[in-house]
């Protein structure tokens, strides 16, 4: 059973940067597409970005395209989300997820989920 653990969240001023990491244990991520999602208080969980199992394909939500970059290191069993030019509206709990068929169709196809890491952007 693959377990995912996110890290790297915190408090940052608007315009700043954070790098989130998602480390896996209990199995390898190399077979799975990996995604990042976020959920703000009172809101539904929304898709942020995804990367194919081999790292060759990426997709982003319109709200983060050009500011966020997803990447992965299968040798380290880790996925990253580099977040630049952060805005107040990026404040949320960020979750990583993995699944063989997961992509940008919401949470469809994602079988494994982490517990989330809080990102707070002060205006």
The sheet carrying 68-73 orders its strands as 3-7, 18-25, 78-83, 68-73
Phi, psi (5° rounding) for residue 53?
A: -60, -30
pLDDT above 90 (res 123)? no
pLDDT above 90 (res 115)? yes
Q: pLDDT confidence of 70, banded at 50, 70, 90?
A: very high
Region for 106 from its dihedrals, namely left if φ exceeds 0, alpha if ψ lies in -120 to 50, beta otherwise: left
Q: pLDDT digits over 16-64, tens only?
A: 999 999 999 999 999 999 999 999 999 999 999 999 999 999 999 999 9
Under 8 Å CB-to-CB from 61, ≥6 apart: which residues? 46, 47, 48, 49, 104
Q: pLDDT digits over 94-110, tens only?
A: 999 999 999 999 999 99
State CA 44 to chain mean position distance.
15
The encoded tokens of residue 106 equal 């919401």
The encoded tokens of residue 117 equal 């890491």
């Amino acid at each position: 059973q693959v377990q995912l653990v996110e890290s790297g969240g915190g408090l940052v001023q608007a315009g700043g940067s954070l790098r989130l990491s998602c480390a896996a244990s209990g199995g390898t991520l190399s077979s799975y597409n990996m995604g990042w999602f976020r959920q703000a208080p009172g809101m539904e969980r929304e898709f942020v970005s995804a990367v194919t199992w081999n790292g060759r394909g990426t997709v982003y939500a319109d709200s983060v395209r050009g500011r966020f970059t997803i990447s992965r290191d299968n040798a380290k069993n880790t996925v990253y989300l580099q977040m630049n030019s952060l805005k107040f509206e990026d404040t949320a709990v960020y979750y990583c997820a993995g699944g063989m068929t997961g992509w940008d169709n919401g949470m469809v196809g994602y079988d494994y989920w982490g517990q989330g890491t809080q990102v707070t952007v002060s205006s």
